[in-house]
Amino acid sequence: MELTLAFALSWLTLISAACLLTWSPPVRRWSARCRHPLLMAVLTAIAVRLVPSLFTLPPDALVRFDHASYRLVADAVMARHDVYDLVAPGQPPRYPYLPLHLYLFAAAGWLADHTGLPFLLLAKAPAIAADAALAVLIALGARALGRHADAPALAMAYALNPLAVLITGYHGQFDAVSTAAALAAWLLLLRGCSWRAVAISAGLLGLAVADKTWPLILLPLLTLTVRGRDGHDTLARRATYLALAAVPPLGALALYETLVPGGAAHALRVVRAYHGVDTWGVSALLTALTDPAPSSPVMARVDATASWLMLTAVAVGSLIALRLRPGPERPAVVIAAAYAASVSWGWNWLLWLVPLALLSRGWWVPAFLAAGTASVALVYLGFGGVRWGFVELTGTFGPVVWFRWAKLALWGAFVLAVMAAGVRGGTIPVRAARGQAVARRPAGRR
């Protein structure tokens, strides 16, 4: 059955309203008294993503490119062909990630061939399960941060989060898998830096990187977060963290090399060269102001500096984060810095920040969740990601020019957020030093 615009909008409205209701005082009190709130959150997360996954998308849905890619990757893996050869001229590569998640696509393909179950539903299953796991991890994180009463509501808020439902349930992108592993890695270090916690956290972060590469931006921050007991053996623990975090990506490359000789080097070339499919940041600003051709010297110069911009942003973001108090704002700042520095974009990338936003406090949390959800909903249901809603309702392509500037405003908000975090991080040590100085003064001189 084909997904209609009416159902997509109705489902989005329903889960958005339910998500908002999770923060109403009556619902929060009820969820706090519920005997199995996390089980309810898990079942809800699976259900609200499973329903849209059962529909067939229209032929002109842009996300069908990714859906076709999943099947092509599955077939290539089962035939022991190089999946990184699946590149058509003028199109992005079909699989621009390290060689790990491709085995899940292959398993989905094998099951679909032998059971008759829909391949796309099986391909989405790991991401749906990871989204359910994220609801649990958010609750555990809330408890670790001392927000015990909020934990059930936060878990349900993520289960019903429309941004996550659009990305996982409709699109089928698997960012939830790497996000869950990266969040678990951070939570382990938040609770302590024992040798066991260091080893497990490093392994989880390595798995996250092997699955979808982007959690690599968190490696400097998490490594520098590791500390030894009473200041001893900190360097050894950090070195161990780096070494163990490298094991899953290197293991995935080694396994792929045994299956496809020469495939590991090819994989690294494709991963390194890949950018998002949409313009963003500086490239989007230049496009809005001057509309240069994609092959113009200016755009080529922007693309050439993209890697250095990202490395600089991750370094600066990590330094800013380390000056903040331990909490979800630390990794959130690094991710926001990566958003600010990127010159290309994938709307599914917004999912990385959602769990940390729910665990954070401050005015920026509802602002980000509202703006991110509205943007993803417009892209997926209005501008052809899933449905061409503006074309269907108005007979035009909709306010494309307006949305171009709205996208720039969202990018600018990330830039300002990182700058504000830098100012805030700089004032915390100053306030602490002043407090210590006041405490050392004699009572009569205060």
Q: Is the pLDDT of residue 327 over 90?
A: yes
Q: What pLDDT was estimated at residue 277?
A: 78
List, for residues 134-164, the tens digit of each pLDDT value: 999 999 999 999 999 899 999 999 999 999 9
Would you place residue 444 in the very low, low, confident or very high pLDDT band (cuts 50, 70, 90)?
very low
pLDDT digits (tens, 9 = 90+) for 249-296: 999 999 999 999 999 999 999 999 888 777 888 888 888 777 766 667
Higher pLDDT, 81 or 299: 81
What percentage of the chain reaches a pLDDT higher than 90?
A: 73
Write down the pLDDT at residue 192: 87
Give mean pLDDT, residues 314-333: 95
Q: Is the pLDDT of residue 427 over 80?
A: no
- Rounded CA separation 152/129 (Å): 18
Task: Give pLDDT, residue 445.
Answer: 46
Taking the C-alpha atoms of residue 188 and residue 65, their distance in angstroms, rounded to an integer, is 37
Q: What is the pLDDT of residue 382?
A: 92
Arithmetic mean of pLDDT, 58-81: 96
pLDDT at site 294: 64
What pLDDT score was predicted for residue 442? 52
Rounded Cα–Cα distance for residues 417 and 411 (Å): 10
Are 370 and 445 a contacting pair, CB within 8 Å? no
User: Whole-model pTM?
Assistant: 0.93
- Rounded Cα distance between 62 and 9, Å, is 18
356-404 per-position pLDDT tens digit? 999 998 888 999 999 999 999 999 999 999 999 988 888 887 777 788 8
Q: Is the pLDDT of residue 122 over 90?
A: yes
Residue 76 confidence class, pLDDT cut points 50, 70, 90: very high
In this model, does residue 68 exceed pLDDT 50? yes
C-alpha pair distances (Å), 374 with each of 12, 246, 364, 370: 11, 37, 15, 6
| Angle of CA points 368, 369, 371, to nearest 5° | 65
Give the mean pLDDT of the chain.
Answer: 91
Looking at residue 440, its pLDDT comes to: 47
pLDDT category at 438 given cuts 50, 70, 90 is: very low
